[in-house]
Amino acid sequence: MAIGSREVTNHTSQLPTRTQVAIIGGGPAGTLLSYLLHLEGVASVVLELRSREHVLGRVRAGVIEYGSAGVLRAAGLGDRMDGEGFVHDGVNLAFANKLLRIDFGGLVGKHVVIYGQTQLQKDLYDAMDREGIALVDEAEQIEVHDIETTTPRVIFDKDGESHSLSCDYVVGCDGAHGTAREYIPSTVSQTFERLYPFVWVGLLSETPPVNDELIYANHLDGFALCSMRNENLSRYYVQGSAEDTPEDWPDERFWEALERRLPTEAADRLVTGPSIEKLVTPLRSWVSEPLSYGRLYLAGDAAHVVPPTGAKGLNLAISDVVYLASALSDFYTTGSTTGLDEYSATALSRVWKAVRFSWWLTALMHRFSAEEDFDRRLQMAELDYLFSSEAAQRAMAENYVGLLL
Ligand code: APR
Ligand code: PHB
């Protein structure tokens, strides 16, 4: 059988050839979607480019919004998060050697859970294994066909042979470097982008965290963030220049910069040690609209990326797939496509609010220019306002713990 110009060579493999929903990408978006669909009785197959070992080894942010934690619990995926994660009732902003605690509990009656995306990804893979949900790893050269018809197909290579998977719907969950969004014609699709002129240098160390809650610091030398994974695993970040590489930041330079950027009361408690991982993350934001075309839908980083300030990326992936799972389930139970038709607008309305919050927190906390310019004065005025206004703190708390899904 030839599909387009490509020959399907394997007609006898054990791999599925037909499903209801083909999901491209086995990150948090793709695997959670497949699991939520399974709970609704909808069959799916996840096609993941990389090996399981690679996917489970990626270190990413670890702030689970209040609503995201609720979604995971309701799906029966919250046990390890609740056992090993940390409930945080507040977050701290540092400026001019002072610390301001944003009291989530007192201001909005909610919290976040600190739980690494690496752990959540393992929980999702374990749950899929338990339920026997199909995941094909090392699926290469994925192509999507016929999304403008009711019988789309995905073809892919596995172990050197080509396979075809026919389905009712295709969901692109293949992350920022994926190709699914390219199937939306350029006449229909639009990308909105903001690049920031700096990077985050991140370090993981087996040391006790400097504080029991996160600290986001604005300092003349640049931004710093203190986060954590557990009692003896700290995650720290400092703002670096756009062209920096991890080699530009030997441990000693990193620790010195971090210590200098923290208020004295925190810096005095900082315990340093050898890094066990160091990476450089560019800061950018983009949204590709719309999130659907024909029978193709996009979710998570495949459709939008936010800077890590505020840790919204994973939470947006979760809200996208909650909307999509419910819309697909409606279609299979009632035949209604209303949810699917509205998916793009519904998800984008939440996405843009998180894009706005990530942009606001990035603009508030980073050093943009070495000069004392107009923008720096505005930044200082806004921090001053936040330090003195409960209304401003409440707005920050409401966004940080996550807007309603
Ligand atoms: N074919 C199949 N899979 C692919 C392809 C492809 N062409 N390209 C990429 N992938 C896989 C990647 O290997 C990855 O496992 O898609 C998956 C996408 O996962 P993520 O990048 O984790 O994106 P997503 O699931 O949307 O989760 C968003 O991840 O990037 C972070 O900060 C972000 O926390 C947020 C979360
Ligand atoms: C992290 O723990 O890695 C983290 C926390 C908060 C952020 C970004 C990253 O805003």
pLDDT tens, 305-355? 999 999 999 999 999 999 999 999 999 999 999 999 999 999 999 999 999
Q: What is the model's pLDDT at position 343?
A: 98
Higher-confidence position of 280 and 60: 280
Taking the CA of residue 227 as reference, the ligand 2 atom at the shortest distance is 2
CB of 240 sitting under 6 A from ligand 1 = no
Q: Are 116 and 229 within 8 A, CB to CB?
A: yes
Q: Give residue 76's region: left, alpha or beta (phi > 0; psi -120 to 50).
A: left
Across the range 41-61, mean pLDDT stands at 94
Q: Give the distance (Å) from ligand 2 centre to CA of residue 277.
A: 15
- Output the pLDDT for position 370: 83
The count of other CB atoms within 10 Å of the CB of residue 206 is 13
Looking at residue 12, what is its pLDDT? 61
- Assess contact for 172 and 26: CB atoms under 8 A: no
The pLDDT tens digits of the residues spanning 347-395 come to: 999 999 999 999 999 999 999 988 889 999 999 999 999 999 999 999 9
* CA distance linking residue 67 with residue 62, whole number of Å: 15
pTM score, two decimals?
A: 0.96
pLDDT at position 371: 81
Average pLDDT of the residues in 163-169: 98
Indicate if 163 belongs to the active site: no
Integer-rounded Cα Rg, in Å, for the chain is 22
Amino acid at site 88: H
Domain annotation for the chain: domains and CATH numbers:
2-62+116-189+290-361 (3.50.50.60), 196-282+367-401 (3.30.9.10)
Catalytic site includes residue 323: no
For residue 87, report the distance from its CA to the centre of ligand 2, in Å. 15
Which residues line the pocket of ligand 2, CB cutoff 6 A?
61-63, 214, 227, 235, 308-311
pLDDT, residue 5, reads 60
Task: Reply yes or no on whether the pLDDT at 211 is more than 60.
Answer: yes
Q: Is the pLDDT of residue 70 over 90?
A: yes
Q: Is 338 exposed, middle or buried (0-12, 13-18, 19+ CB in 10 A)?
A: exposed
> What per-residue confidence (pLDDT) applies to 273?
98
The pLDDT value recorded for residue 10 is 67
Q: Which band of pLDDT confidence, cut at 50, 70 and 90, is reported for residue 2?
A: very low
400 is catalytic: yes
- pLDDT at res. 11: 64
Rounded to the nearest whole angstrom, what is the distance from the C-alpha of residue 205 to the centroid of ligand 1? 25
Q: pLDDT over 90 for what percent of the chain?
A: 93
**Ligand 2 atom with the shortest distance to the CA of 308:** 8
Q: What is the dihedral of CA 265, 268, 270, 273, to 10 degrees?
A: 170
What six digits make up the tokens of 173?
Answer: 């969950």
Tens digits of per-residue pLDDT, 245-264? 999 999 999 999 999 999 99
**Mutational pocket test of ligand 2: of 225, 277, 281, the residue with most ligand atoms within 8 Å of the beta carbon:** 225
Question: Average pLDDT, stretch 218-233?
Answer: 95
Out of 3-7, 54-58, 128-132, pick the least confident: 3-7
Write out pLDDT tens, residues 85-97: 999 999 999 999 9
The bound ligand whose nearest atom lies closest to the alpha carbon of 32 is: 1
Q: How many CA atoms lie within 13 A of 347 on its CB side?
A: 32
Q: How many angstroms separate the CA atoms of 16 and 123, rounded?
A: 24
pLDDT digits (tens, 9 = 90+) for 170-187: 999 999 999 999 999 999
Q: Which of 312, 323, 343, 366 is catalytic?
A: 312
**Which residue in the list 35, 66, 196, 216 is annotated as catalytic?**
216
Q: Catalytic annotation on 185? A: no
Give the distance, in angstroms, between the CA of residue 283 and the centroid of all CA atoms in the same chain.
13
- How confident is the model at residue 366, as a pLDDT? 97
User: What pLDDT, on the 0 to 100 scale, is given for residue 62?
Assistant: 87
Token duo for residue 402:
């996550």
Q: What average pLDDT does the segment 27-45 reach?
A: 98
At residue 9, the pLDDT reads 74
pLDDT of residue 216: 98
Query: Which of the residues 28, 152, 307, 308 is marked catalytic?
Result: 308
**Which listed ligand is nearest to 229 at the C-alpha?**
2
